[in-house]
Amino acid sequence: MIGDTPIPRGKRFTIECAAEGVRVGYPFKREVVIGDFKPSKLDYCDPDAPPPPRRLKGVPVCESVGVTRRPKQKIRFKNDRPSPERPASERPAAPTGSRAEARPAVNYFEVRPANLPPRLDSLKALTKSGVRGYPDVDAAQALLAGVMRKDRVRGDVLDLSAMGGLLGSLPGVTLRAVEGSAAALSALAAGGLDAHAAVPGESLLERWPDRARTVALVLAGDRGNAYAAAQVAWAHACTPPGGTLYIAGDRDKGFDRYVRLAGNAFGAGEVVARDGGMRVAKLIRRPGPTPALPDPEGFEAFGVTVVGLPGVFSAAKPDRATALMLGALERLDPDGSALNGKDVLDLGCGTGLIGAWAARRGATVTLVDGDLPSVRSAQATLAASGLTGAAVHSDVDAALDPAATFDVILTNPPFHVGRGVVLDVAREFIAAATRRLRPGGTLHLVANDFLPYEADLRALGEVRETLREAGFKVLSVTRA
């Protein structure tokens, strides 16, 4: 409803926004603003979205629907925060024989203090490109830290979504940091925190045999219902009876639905803080069984049996961009011999479909992703398909052998980090190709057709457009 005017469910309309970043109504499908373009177009009232939340006993819900101001998403084409060049000793070494290449404008591997809201200026956290919220702290985590400081939380705190370690700077808190993001693990290590890499559902008892009485979690609702449900079940398993769970998230990414799910398992709880669209709930665990984890999804495509864990991109079916690239490459190599015996890198492997497809065609494959659930999925995909290959958890190529090079690099690079739409990670993928591609080797990259990767790719050689279809393009570059 806008003012006194009701909006029918399922309608689509365009709003002429006088102010930037205005979102209207509930539920909405998406809002995309590129650069300083305005007005923005909103696809309002997704017919498949759930109805507005109802009040349930013991769990207050958001205030009534209305017009809210939220930061708009931008695709960052240039870094307006210059940073010093990363010392050579800290960069992934260029393989012997590779020529020096210009790095992207953003110093991707630089770890820096995160920007904090004024109310948290006594706290600290580190961040870098690839960490949720960069260059700021994640908004939900910021609200969570404020609530826990107000509650004077002390002692051991298990943070299942530690990001840059903000909760570790709360007075009297000893942080047990858990993360699945390789970029976040780098930031935590730079801050002196011995973080534990894990995915939702993995036991932490070997690392910490005694369970912390306080557990914190930021819901990643943008990764889908199954992932958020896995997070809730994981938090329940990690919280002892009588222990406290602080759970934070975004109202527009299903927070109320997931808090109701948590309330069913934990018992007593309530929403204790609101700031814009961000919410924090506090729940006390009662004795009882832990909810079951969602089952992995999967599919068959291009001769590969894909296993997709909750939250992994395109876990239930091949995404359109990947399917277009693999289809184009198969048409270029109908007998399947071009990759036989080649060393192939699947950079940003997700479920492992691309790397497994290359292995099926006789390649020796290395699959890399900065997201640990994706690496676990890629390992499962290779096993389910009867194929061999190395799946590596790595912040771009940082965890690879410095001397490792490849004949072919295949990638469908991400351009989202949490809510943000940024190109820092994708551009570092291209920079990694300049470090890892052998002379005469080829990079194949698929992307949305509006993304400006061609200028970066020219550092490798002449850019060829192998395919342009359905809003996507496949770009190929062979190194001289």
Q: Residue range 368-374: average pLDDT?
A: 98
Q: How large is the average pLDDT for residues 326-331? A: 97
Report the pLDDT averaged over residues 189-218.
Answer: 98
> Does residue 79 carry a pLDDT above 70?
no
Q: Which one is predicted more confidently, 416 or 391? A: 391
Average pLDDT over residues 23-28: 37
Is-contact 415 425, C-beta < 8 A?
yes
Q: Which residue has the higher pLDDT, 256 or 9?
A: 256
* Mean pLDDT calculated for residue range 66-89: 40
Q: How confident is the model at residue 288 (pLDDT cuts 50, 70, 90)?
A: very high
416: confidence class by pLDDT, cuts 50, 70, 90: low
User: Is the pLDDT assigned to residue 59 strictly greater than 70?
Assistant: no
Write down the mean pLDDT value for the chain: 84
Going by pLDDT thresholds of 50, 70 and 90, the confidence category of residue 268 is confident
* Whole-number pLDDT of residue 100: 33
- Strands 244-250 vs 278-284: parallel, antiparallel or unpaired: antiparallel
Query: What's the rounded Cα separation, in Å, for the pair 7 and 11?
Result: 7
296, 310 in Cβ contact below 8 A? yes
Contact 284, 243 (CB under 8 A): yes
CA distances from 350 to 286, 308, 343, 479 (A): 36, 9, 19, 25
Helix (H) or strand (E) holding 145: helix 139-150
**pLDDT > 90? residue 30:** no
Q: What is the pLDDT of residues 332-343, one digit of tens each?
A: 999 999 999 999
| pLDDT for res 218 | 98
Among 18-32, 82-96, 408-422, the least confident range: 18-32
In the chain the domains, ranked by start, together with CATH numbers, are: 1-77 (no CATH), 111-284 (3.40.50.150), 297-478 (3.40.50.150)
> What pLDDT is recorded for position 415?
80
Indicate if the pLDDT at residue 83 is higher than 80: no
Which pLDDT does position 105 carry in this prediction? 55
DSSP state of 290: P
Average pLDDT over residues 335-355: 97
Give the mean model confidence (pLDDT) for residues 419-429: 80
Among 432, 475, 468, CA closest to 93: 432
Can you tell me the mean pLDDT for 245-251? 98
Residue given tokens 């000893």 in the structure block: 174
Check whether the bond before 39 is cis (ω within 30° of 0): yes
Interval 119-159: pLDDT, tens? 999 999 999 999 999 999 999 999 999 999 999 999 999 99
pLDDT score recorded for residue 422? 72
Give yes or no for residue 25 having a pLDDT over 60.
no
pLDDT of residue 80: 38
Average pLDDT over residues 161-184: 98
Mapped onto helix, strand or coil, the DSSP state of residue 460 is coil
Q: Alpha carbon of 246 to those of 1, 157, 215, 324: distances in Å?
A: 32, 10, 6, 43
pLDDT given for residue 420 in this prediction: 52
Q: Average pLDDT of 14-18?
A: 36
Q: What proportion of the chain, given as a percentage, has pLDDT over 90?
A: 75
Model pLDDT, residue 10: 44
